[in-house]
Amino acid sequence: MPRSLRVMSFLLSVLLMFLFIWLLGFVLDDIGDLQGPDWNAVLAEHEDPALRARAQELASTIAEIQWRVSRQEQLQQEQRRSMDNARGTMQQMMELQRLSLEQGAPPSEVEKDALAQAQQRFLDAQESYETANAEIAAANETVYRLSQEQKAVADTLEQQEDPARDDFNAQLRAHRLQVASWKLAFIVPLFLLAAWLFSRHRGSAYRSILLAALAATFWKVGGVMFDHFPREYFKYIAIVAAIVIVLAFLVWLLRKAARPGRDLLLTRYREAYRGHVCPVCAYPIARGPLRFAVWTRKGPRSGGNGNEVLSAQDAAADAPYACPSCGTSLFSTCGNCSSLRHTLLPYCEHCGDERAEEPIGAVS
């Protein structure tokens, strides 16, 4: 595959993984929206409804009385203003009368009336003011009494709230556990399916799609565990998973280093057969016409004038052959066509039959 195509397919696979993560996130969010316990409903089961009604009644009564008190205080301010006005008028009238008396003239009837009216207004306002004062004092007394009762009721309600809170917390825990199980029931099978598909089709051209799905589901499994398992469990789960992954990777690397892959071995065997030496111990294969050859550093060189031994050589070439040095079977009978084939190469040179088992990997 050209380099640009490889980079492109890698980027698209990463994009695909993020899209998978996104999609799984939507589904998991919808599962998380399952209806949880209702605090008000749980509370209503545990507290006395009459007491709750009384508390509300007290609160509204107190609020109404306080509203009335503030109204009375407003009226008092108005009365204080009209008292001040009346007092001012009275002082002016008295001043006028004093001036008239000094000049020897008695005050007129109009002046007398005006003074009397001002006095009356002052007295009326003062009386209203005093009445308002008394009402405010009485209302404050009532509010104090009601507040005492309100406090007692609130204390009782609070005591009844404790078991309600315990009950609610228990229901909430059960609900979270349920949500977590639903999420895991959704994501874990997907993860296992992706893992199975990936391991089955590891050699396929579409493996990067499966790898993207595997990575996305693995990521979401971790996310669900992180969200729903208590932190102290999650850290163990996470570290164990990380160790398993790293170990698997390390084992794979070590195995690859210790045992070369099939392709590498095959190349080595092929070269050895072509050079007419044992692929395992490099001892010369003295078989058929090569029986009389002399091995130089460049390979076998024909020894004698072979014509008179040709028939004997042909006969020997058809016999199974094992390396005289290490005992590895190098030529054996084909199970399919009964001709002689290269034991360590995958195909029979006569019938093209592919060996079912792997003789290559068996030699270490």
Residues that bind Zn ion (CB under 5 A): 278, 280-281, 283, 323, 325-326, 334, 336-337, 348, 350-351, 353
- Closer CB to Zn ion, residue 82 or residue 333? 333
Residue 322, both tokens: 């094992």
- Closer CB to Zn ion, residue 72 or residue 336? 336
Least distance in angstroms from the C-beta of 7 to Zn ion:
44
CA–CA dist 201, 213 (Å, integer) = 13
User: CB burial class (10 A; 0-12, 13-18, 19+) of residue 125?
Assistant: buried
Least distance in angstroms from the C-beta of 328 to Zn ion:
5
Say how many C-beta atoms besides its own lie within 10 A of residue 279's C-beta.
25
CA–CA dist 89, 146 (Å, integer) = 44
- Closer CB to Zn ion, residue 167 or residue 353? 353
> What is the DSSP pairing of strand 299-301 with strand 321-322?
unpaired
Positive or negative torsion for Cα 288, 291, 297, 298: negative
Instruction: Please answer whether residues 349 and 273 qualify as being in contact, where contact means their C-beta atoms are separated by less than 8 angstroms.
Output: no
3-class SS at 317? helix
- Closer CB to Zn ion, residue 257 or residue 362? 362
Least distance in angstroms from the C-beta of 333 to Zn ion:
9
CA 13 to chain centre: 22
CA–CA dist 55, 65 (Å, integer) = 15
Least distance in angstroms from the C-beta of 313 to Zn ion:
21
3-class SS at 248? helix
Residues 6+ apart with CB under 8 A from 42: 164, 167, 168, 171
Least distance in angstroms from the C-beta of 275 to Zn ion:
13
- Closer CB to Zn ion, residue 35 or residue 364? 364
CA–CA dist 190, 23 (Å, integer) = 13
- Closer CB to Zn ion, residue 220 or residue 355? 355
Least distance in angstroms from the C-beta of 343 to Zn ion:
12
CA–CA dist 38, 42 (Å, integer) = 6
- Closer CB to Zn ion, residue 139 or residue 286? 286
3-class SS at 28? helix
Least distance in angstroms from the C-beta of 12 to Zn ion:
45
User: Scanning the structure block, which residue is given the tokens 């998991």?
Assistant: 28
Instruction: Please answer whether residues 278 and 286 qualify as being in contact, where contact means their C-beta atoms are separated by less than 8 angstroms.
Output: no
Least distance in angstroms from the C-beta of 183 to Zn ion:
57
Least distance in angstroms from the C-beta of 331 to Zn ion:
12
- Closer CB to Zn ion, residue 260 or residue 335? 335
Residue 101, both tokens: 């008396």
- Closer CB to Zn ion, residue 214 or residue 278? 278
